[in-house]
A and B are shown apart, each in its own frame.
Chain A
Amino acid sequence: AQTVTQSQPEMSVQEAETVTLSCTYDTSESDYYLFWYKQPPSRQMILVIRQEAYKQQNATENRFSVNFQKAAKSFSLKISDSQLGDAAMYFCAYRGTGNQFYFGTGTSLTVIP
């Protein structure tokens, strides 16, 4: 089975600064998708960004971007110009050719005013 590892249980960032959350995964598949989800205190899981393994270009969604290193099996999330509303738990997820999604254990992000 595939595994997804988030090695930073907690991170903090000053408002307006940039922070990078790390994610690594293990797979033998060549075609897969990677996702970052945000879970604010409301508990609702919100999709932040996705990346296709075949695309070399890193995905970007407004202040959120990824650094996808396929050979290193690394998929980090960069949040620029951090805002108070970015405070949440962030989960990295993998979807391959099977039926399941594989989630990391999450990184709790605190934004300091």
Chain B
Amino acid sequence: NAGVTQTPKFRILKIGQSMTLQCTQDMNHNYMYWYRQDPGMGLKLIYYSVGAGITDKGEVPNGYNVSRSTTEDFPLRLELAAPSQTSVYFCASSYAQITSEQYFGPGTRLTVT
């Protein structure tokens, strides 16, 4: 049971490039989330999904896109990377029940220069 896995761990992008951050969970969780964490700051929700085929915007969705074609995978797409997207990105998942905590991946450190 690997939990929540994210790839890559680190990435440097040039301004204007695009990339996809991968997230996979093997716990059969319905709910999945993407957060960004800027240095010394808390978590900001980018997008979330309550099941395959269903996604919704969080607090800071601009510049990002997501898709959820399977229960396990929830990739985050960055189009036209900007320096403001330099951050650490966390994927998380949970069961639908209110009792469930979130399980987090190890994070992806992204630098846009």
Contact = CB atoms under 8 A, between A and B. Distances in A.
Are A and B associated in one complex? Answer: yes
Interface of A: 31-33, 35, 42-45, 47, 50, 52, 91, 93, 95-97, 99-101, 103-106, 108
Q: Is the interface of A mostly helix, strand, loop or mixed?
A: loop
A95 B98 contact: yes
A105 B40 CA distance: 9
In the complex, which range does the number of interface residues on chain B fall in?
Answer: 20 to 34
Contacts, number: 48
B101 A47 contact: yes
B98 A97 contact: yes
Kindly name the residue among A32, A44, A91, A99 whose own CB sees the greatest number of chain B CB atoms within 10 A. A99
Given A43-B88, A52-B99, A95-B100, 17 more contacts: A32-B98, A33-B99, A33-B101, A45-B92, A45-B102, A47-B101, A91-B42, A91-B43, A93-B102, A95-B101, A96-B98, A100-B45, A100-B58, A101-B94, A103-B42, A105-B41, A106-B42
B104 interface: yes
Contact of B98 (A33, A42, A103, A105): A33
A99 B56 contact: yes
A45 B90 contact: yes
Contacts of B98: 31-33, 95-97
